[in-house]
């Protein structure tokens, strides 16, 4: 097999949805229909269309409009099966899962730093408002300080909410970035 073919096969097999599509087509009776793949994998039609386009040359439609494996698809399935049939204990100790570093710790620390940096002006603003109220300062000063405190507290509450919900938001973001 030449390097270009290897590169194409490994690019196609790199995505789990495409591997799942190949398996459904290979193990289905007379292939698999678009609807069967869609319902089995739970992908949106746009994502499924994208992955089927990426599998061009690996799968094709037969006369009954069912996807079947091409010779390139059969070679790819044989490659996946050969990895599955190997005793995993022999090479598991050499296999290192290469996942990108999580964004969560860095972004969470950034959020804590932002929250801390917001706390100080809010405290000083509150003390200044208290001082203005005690001394009977101008109403404009009181209104300005009250607005300053309200905005600061709102931003602080939003930051607390964001940090609390950060795991879900960051998992979604990482999924979008790293696929």
154 and 120, same structural domain?
Answer: yes
Domain assignment present for residue 94? The answer is no
* C-beta separation of 67 from 29 below 8 A: no
Quote the domain boundaries for residue 36. Answer: 3-89
pTM attached to this predicted model = 0.52
108 and 76, same structural domain?
Answer: no
Domain assignment present for residue 75? The answer is yes
Q: What is the pLDDT of residue 1?
A: 61
Q: What is the pLDDT of residue 125?
A: 77
Q: Name the domain count of the chain.
A: 2
Domain assignment present for residue 123? The answer is yes
76 and 15, same structural domain?
Answer: yes
21 and 64, same structural domain?
Answer: yes
Domain assignment present for residue 122? The answer is yes
149 and 120, same structural domain?
Answer: yes
Q: What is the pLDDT of residue 22?
A: 92
72 and 142, same structural domain?
Answer: no
76 and 123, same structural domain?
Answer: no
- The pair phi, psi for residue 32, each rounded to 5°, is -145, 145
3-state secondary structure 40-98: HHCCCHHHHHHHHHHCECCEEECCCCCEEECHHHHHHHHHHHHHHHCCHHHHHCCCCCC
Q: What is the pLDDT of residue 18?
A: 92
The residue out of 60, 89, 118 marking a domain boundary is 89
From the list 15, 90, 80, 9, the residue with the least C-alpha distance to 47 is 15
- Give, in order, the Cα–Cα distances in Å from 104 to each of 155, 171, 178: 20, 8, 14
Q: pLDDT by residue for the chain (179 residues), tens digit each?
A: 678 888 888 888 888 899 999 999 999 888 899 999 998 888 888 999 999 999 999 999 998 989 999 999 998 888 888 877 665 666 666 666 555 566 667 777 777 787 777 778 777 777 877 787 788 778 887 788 778 888 878 887 877 777 777 667 666 766 666 65
120 and 83, same structural domain?
Answer: no
Domain assignment present for residue 96? The answer is no
84 and 109, same structural domain?
Answer: no
63 and 30, same structural domain?
Answer: yes
The residue out of 64, 89, 114 marking a domain boundary is 89
Domain assignment present for residue 110? The answer is yes
The residue out of 89, 117, 137 marking a domain boundary is 89
């Amino acid at each position: 097999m030449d390097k270009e073919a290897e590169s194409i096969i490994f690019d196609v097999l790199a995505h789990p949805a495409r591997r799942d599509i190949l398996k459904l087509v290979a193990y289905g009776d007379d292939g698999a229909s678009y609807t069967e793949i869609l319902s089995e994998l739970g992908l949106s039609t746009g994502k499924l269309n994208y992955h089927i386009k990426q599998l061009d040359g690996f799968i094709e439609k037969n006369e009954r409009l069912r996807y079947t494996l091409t010779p390139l698809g059969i070679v790819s399935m044989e490659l996946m099966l050969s990895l599955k049939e190997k005793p995993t204990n022999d090479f598991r100790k050499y296999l290192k899962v290469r996942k990108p570093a999580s964004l969560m710790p860095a972004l969470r620390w950034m959020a804590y730093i932002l929250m801390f940096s917001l706390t100080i002006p809010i405290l000083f603003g509150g003390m200044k408002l208290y001082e203005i109220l005690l001394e009977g300062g101008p109403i404009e000063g009181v209104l300005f300080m009250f607005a300053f405190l309200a905005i600061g507290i709102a931003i602080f509450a939003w930051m607390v909410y964001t940090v609390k919900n950060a795991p879900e938001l960051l998992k979604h973001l990482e999924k979008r970035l790293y696929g």
